[in-house]
């Protein structure tokens, strides 16, 4: 009887270990979509300033910084030069599992002209700017659990979150760590 109980305990703990080791996979062997490091980032599909639908998944194969910000957010605007510098330095780089670096900017603006003016003024040169112009009620801010900005998620070439809320030199260091 004691041997059966021991065997059951060993099997139980083995199953827990296997589950923990594969926690980023679901039962079908696919990545778990979520907001934790190691999860696949939730898809975002939103309108650009030109009213084009832009999907996050269109950047698969690149390292991507999903950057939540707004034109009215002073800390965001102060961080933008760092983000621009990282973009310029790493946009054509080769990474361990990706080629190139891009930014997918999600604005929490409500006023389209202010949003567009901030993109131009801060020289946010990348093409992937989106917003539903709902401010704090933005759909994807809710999905990503964004409660303050700036906020960001760094994903690898497969869309897996590898870092979150990188500021200043931490963004450049995280990108350097992903280089080939």
* Tokens 């980032």 sit on residue: 41
Record the pTM: 0.84
Per-residue pLDDT at 10: 35
Question: In the CATH scheme, what is the homologous superfamily, with its name and number, of domain 33-178?
Answer: Glutaredoxin (3.40.30.10)
Task: Check residue 42 and report its DSSP letter.
Answer: P
Please spell the DSSP secondary structure of 151-167, one letter per residue.
Answer: EEEEE-TTSBEEEE---
pLDDT digits (tens, 9 = 90+) for 39-50: 999 999 999 999
Domain assignments of the chain as residue spans, ordered by start: 33-178
Which sign does the torsion angle of CA 135, 140, 144, 150 carry? negative
Question: Could you give phi then psi for residue 29, rounded to 5 degrees?
Answer: 85, 10
């Amino acid at each position: 009887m004691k041997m059966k109980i021991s065997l059951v305990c060993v099997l139980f703990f083995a199953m827990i270990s296997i589950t923990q080791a594969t926690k980023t996979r679901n039962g079908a062997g696919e990545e778990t979509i979520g907001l934790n490091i190691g999860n696949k980032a939730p898809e975002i599909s939103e309108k650009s300033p030109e009213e084009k639908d832009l999907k996050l998944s269109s950047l698969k194969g690149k390292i991507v910084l999903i950057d939540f910000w707004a034109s009215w957010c002073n800390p965001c605007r102060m961080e933008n030069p760092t983000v621009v510098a990282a973009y310029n330095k790493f946009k054509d780089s080769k990474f361990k599992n990706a080629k190139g670096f891009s930014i997918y900017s999600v604005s929490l603006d409500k006023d389209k002209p202010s949003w567009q003016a901030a993109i131009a003024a801060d020289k946010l040169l990348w093409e992937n700017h989106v917003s539903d112009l709902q401010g704090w009620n933005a759909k994807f801010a809710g999905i990503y659990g964004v409660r303050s900005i700036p906020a960001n998620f760094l994903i690898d070439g497969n869309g897996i979150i590898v870092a979150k809320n990188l500021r200043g030199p931490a963004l450049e260091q995280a990108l350097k760590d992903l280089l080939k």
